[in-house]
């Protein structure tokens, strides 16, 4: 069976009505050799025989399996979806069933009683590091469940950014500014500019040197709000499409993992924050990028803004996920009169 056919079947065969439980997403994780081997090496280095380990967002339990192989006395797997039942069967079939406790729950809402754990495993890492809500989940769990001096894998998380050009994506985004099939599609442009793009930017051209936006020590950090600014000096000619972002994670001392667009490919893509209409830039031009993020409230809020200064113009851009639907909202109706 071809890989495409297999992935189609996996996508169409959910474990439950919850779309997050589709096996296809876990298939990608299990197939990611770079991710799994890097976590395995880090867990072997950190987990000691006899340790108690808490696995947050455990999924199929592969990280817990690594901890048990490293000598953990007991692992506690917390997962909010039905895939937790598969994790239990995997550990039981592997001979570790008696050394594992599984709980379907949202980790940040659990009351932790008894002893505290020695190690927390948390792979709620999105393509820009924070976009699977790792900060909102980890901080309360860490404070309630991790012993003093305990370890967290990953230990640190860095968010990186660089201005890019990408001719293929630029061509694809022209649809929002054109007439197609006799229809004017330009009303879609504001939606497109306030959208964050998940894409593989392996063929993107960096227009300036990448910079670190922020570094988070996951053992000590407390913020679930970020507000940082970068200033780039353009080094090569191109058409500025947006700012691409990725993560670098220090899993433990000497062992790191990244989805940098030009290094080893993992299942993670990268994200891009568009500046609006592409802007021609030259060496010496300046681009500022202010990034704001909040995980508080009903949902994540992402906002990005800045100024592009060239010899010909000064362009201000200001976008936000809250403006993702900037058109007039239409009241839902239950009746339609025809004729």
Helix (H, G, I), strand (E, B) or coil at 89: helix
Domain final residue, candidates 103, 130, 153:
153
Sheet holding 301-309, edge to edge: 225-233, 286-294, 301-309, 314-320
**pLDDT tens digit string along 251-288?**
999 999 999 999 878 999 999 999 999 999 999 999 99
Whether residues 219 and 147 share a domain: the answer is: no
Residue 161 lies in a domain: yes
Residue 271 lies in a domain: yes
Neighbours of 26 (CB within 10 A): 19
Q: What is the value of pTM for the model shown?
A: 0.88
CATH, residue 238: 2.70.160.11
Contact 267, 36 (CB under 8 A): no
Residue 337 lies in a domain: no
Residue 41 lies in a domain: yes
Phi, psi (deg, nearest 5) at residue 118? -90, -30
CATH, residue 65: 3.40.50.150
pLDDT of 6 reads: 41
Residue 92 lies in a domain: yes
Whether residues 132 and 214 share a domain: the answer is: no
Whether residues 137 and 53 share a domain: the answer is: yes
Whether residues 263 and 193 share a domain: the answer is: yes
Residue 199 pairs in a beta bridge with 270
pLDDT of 12 reads: 39
pLDDT of 22 reads: 61
Whether residues 163 and 239 share a domain: the answer is: yes
> Which residues of the chain fall below pLDDT 50?
1-20
Domain final residue, candidates 108, 128, 153:
153
Residue 21 lies in a domain: yes
Dig out the tokens for 309 from the structure: 């200064």
Residue 231 lies in a domain: yes
Helix (H, G, I), strand (E, B) or coil at 299: coil
Q: For the chain, give the mean pLDDT.
A: 89
Listed in sequence order, the residues at least 6 apart from 328 whose beta carbon sits closer than 8 Å to its beta carbon are: none
Whether residues 86 and 30 share a domain: the answer is: yes
Listed in sequence order, the residues at least 6 apart from 267 whose beta carbon sits closer than 8 Å to its beta carbon are: 28, 29, 31, 32, 35
Whether residues 70 and 130 share a domain: the answer is: yes
Whether residues 127 and 180 share a domain: the answer is: no
Whether residues 10 and 114 share a domain: the answer is: yes
Domain count of the fold of the chain: 2
Domain residues for the domain of 294 are 157-323
**pLDDT tens digit string along 203-229?**
999 999 999 999 999 999 988 889 999
Whether residues 247 and 131 share a domain: the answer is: no
- Write down the H helix ranges in 146-251: 167-173, 189-193
Whether residues 122 and 162 share a domain: the answer is: no
Domain final residue, candidates 153, 184, 211:
153
Q: What's the CA gap between 78 and 75, in Å, rounded?
A: 10
Length of the chain (residues):
339
Listed in sequence order, the residues at least 6 apart from 114 whose beta carbon sits closer than 8 Å to its beta carbon are: none
């Amino acid at each position: 069976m071809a890989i495409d056919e297999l992935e189609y079947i996996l996508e169409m065969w959910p474990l439950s009505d919850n779309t997050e439980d589709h096996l296809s997403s876990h298939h990608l994780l299990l197939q990611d050799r770079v991710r799994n081997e890097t976590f395995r090496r880090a867990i072997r280095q950190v987990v000691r025989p006899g340790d108690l380990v808490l696995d947050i967002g455990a999924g199929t339990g592969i990280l817990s399996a690594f901890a048990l192989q490293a000598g953990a006395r007991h692992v506690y797997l917390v997962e909010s979806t039905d895939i937790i039942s598969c994790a239990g069967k995997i550990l039981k079939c592997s001979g570790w069933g008696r050394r594992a406790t599984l709980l379907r729950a949202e980790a940040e809402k659990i009351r932790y009683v008894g002893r505290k754990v020695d190690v927390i495993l948390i792979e709620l890492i999105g393509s820009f590091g924070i976009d699977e809500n790792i900060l909102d989940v980890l901080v309360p769990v860490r404070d309630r469940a991790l012993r003093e001096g305990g370890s967290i894998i990953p230990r640190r998380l860095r968010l990186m950014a660089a201005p890019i050009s990408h001719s293929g994506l630029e061509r694809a985004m022209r649809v929002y500014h054109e007439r197609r099939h006799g229809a004017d599609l330009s009303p879609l442009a504001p939606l497109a500019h306030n959208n964050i793009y998940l894409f593989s930017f392996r063929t993107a051209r960096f227009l300036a040197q990448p910079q670190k936006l922020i570094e988070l020590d996951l053992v000590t950090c407390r913020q679930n709000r970020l507000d940082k600014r970068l200033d780039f000096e353009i080094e090569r000619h191109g058409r500025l499409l947006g700012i691409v972002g990725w993560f670098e994670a220090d899993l433990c001392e000497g062992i790191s993992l990244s989805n940098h667009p030009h290094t080893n490919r993992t299942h993670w893509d990268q994200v891009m924050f568009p500046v609006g209409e592409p802007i021609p830039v030259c060496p010496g031009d300046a681009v500022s990028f202010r990034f704001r993020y909040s995980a508080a409230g009903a949902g994540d809020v992402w906002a990005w803004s800045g100024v592009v200064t060239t010899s010909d113009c000064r362009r201000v851009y200001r976008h936000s996920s809250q403006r993702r639907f900037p058109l007039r909202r239409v009241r839902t109706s239950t009746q339609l009169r025809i004729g």
